[in-house]
Chains A and B, each alone.
Chain A
Amino acid sequence: ETGVTQTPRHLVMGMTNKKSLKCEQHLGHNAMYWYKQSAKKPLELMFVYSLEERVENNSVPSRFSPECPNSSHLFLHLHTLQPEDSALYLCASSQDPDLGYTFGSGTRLTVV
């Protein structure tokens, strides 16, 4: 256990479903991140929240909608996804970029 908990670990959803991924950290970190990890591709930064405000959105499609209600929780709301959205979604947190990130174990998402 790294201190960053992601649920669920696995998710299978249809293209018309709506689901949410959850990330929780109690490390006292003030920044949280969503990354997408697809096979044979570098990790893609999706969203960055610093002090609960979104500071970066790397041109992510609107079918992905993040929410950061407080500094300990981060959600990724999913709707009308495509099969190419199937990937491992990783959450991370940090207190200071100098110190690196702490990652969760990820949610393996399969869109059918």
Chain B
Amino acid sequence: AQSVTQPDIHITVSEGASLELRCNYSYGATPYLFWYVQSPGQGLQLLLKYFSGDTLVQGIKGFEAEFKRSQSSFNLRKPSVHWSDAAEYFCAVGARNNDMRFGAGTRLTVKP
């Protein structure tokens, strides 16, 4: 079965600085990969997804992620972080059998 690891539990960046959140996956076939964001007291919102084609995918809110098969990674990036980006971010790997596995999440704090 597929699995996801997010190595960083908590990251703090200054507003305006660049951001990279790490995600590593394990799956035997070509995975479907997702990043979600969760604000306090809310559900998860889909930021972007990858399942084929261009390995650099663009999402909402200025986020992008790059699929690197050789590294089994799907890291999330943003060139300039805004205070409103403070939230919990989840990487997920899906399969055709409706079994999506989530990482433990990375909490992002943005310093003024």
Q: Which of B35-62 contact A (CB under 8 A)?
A: 36, 41-46, 49, 51
Contact (A41, B43) CB under 8 Å given A94-B98, A97-B96: no
Other-chain contact of B43, A50, A97, A99, A103 (Cβ < 8 Å)? A103
Q: How far is the CA of A33 from the CA of B44 in the complex (A)?
A: 13
The answer to whether B43 and A98 have CB atoms under 8 Å apart is no
Contact (A105, B99) CB under 8 Å given A42-B105, A98-B32, A99-B49: no
Contact (A42, B104) CB under 8 Å given A97-B32, A106-B43: yes
How big is the A interface, by class? Answer: 20 to 34
Summed over the interface, the residue pairs from A and B with CB atoms below 8 Å come to a total of 63
The answer to whether B44 and A97 have CB atoms under 8 Å apart is no
Interface residues of B (CB under 8 A from A): 4, 32, 34, 36, 41-46, 49, 51, 90, 94-105
Interface residues of A (CB under 8 A from B): 2, 4, 6, 31, 33, 40-43, 45, 48, 50, 55-56, 90, 92, 94, 97-106, 108
